[in-house]
Amino acid sequence: MSYVMVDIESDGPIPGDYSMICFGAVIVEPKLNRTFYGMVKPISKQFIPEALAVSGFSREDCESFEEPKLVMQQFETWLATNCTDRLMFISDNNGFDWQFINWYFHHFLGKNPFGFSSTNLGSLYKGMQKDTFTNFKHLRQTKHTHNPVEDALGNAEALLKMKEMGLRIKLS
């Protein structure tokens, strides 16, 4: 299975009404050297300034980004080129990140190469520790900056550390 750690930044809480601004992905493997970065032009006139500010981009910056269909096609091609077996979407907050990636894939390409499921990194760690109050974030090496590639890398580092701690997971 190819585990793909994903992180997204958006200008609001839900896809469609608001826009995914950018996203990053990394193939989870020891070297963590296969990454993808997409910067996506807004699909809606609506945005929440405080949400957009987290990304570090202005609305004017975002207007110059690539068309969503093109970026999602590039991401699909990158996934097909870098992953030879079944894809598994994993993220720190899959309830948030998944909804945007899933919506954008279905809306712009008519399908999602990840299928219909995802994994939450935090829940996985809580299960390993048998403690719903624990947090995995201390396992990251890369600082969490809201650059989605850096954030995906930090989360992938945490998953690799969890594997070292005994998590049974087969990475491609």
Three-point CA angle 69, 153, 113, nearest 5°? 35
What does the chain look like in DSSP terms, one character per residue? -EEEEEEEEESSSSBTTB-EEEEEEEE-STT---EEEEEB--S-S---HHHHHHHT--HHHHHTSBPHHHHHHHHHHHHHHH--S-EEEEETTHHHHHHHHHHHHHHHHS--TTTT-EEEHHHHHHHHHT-TT--SGGG--S---S-HHHHHHHHHHHHHHHHHTT------
Q: Which residues are catalytic?
A: 146
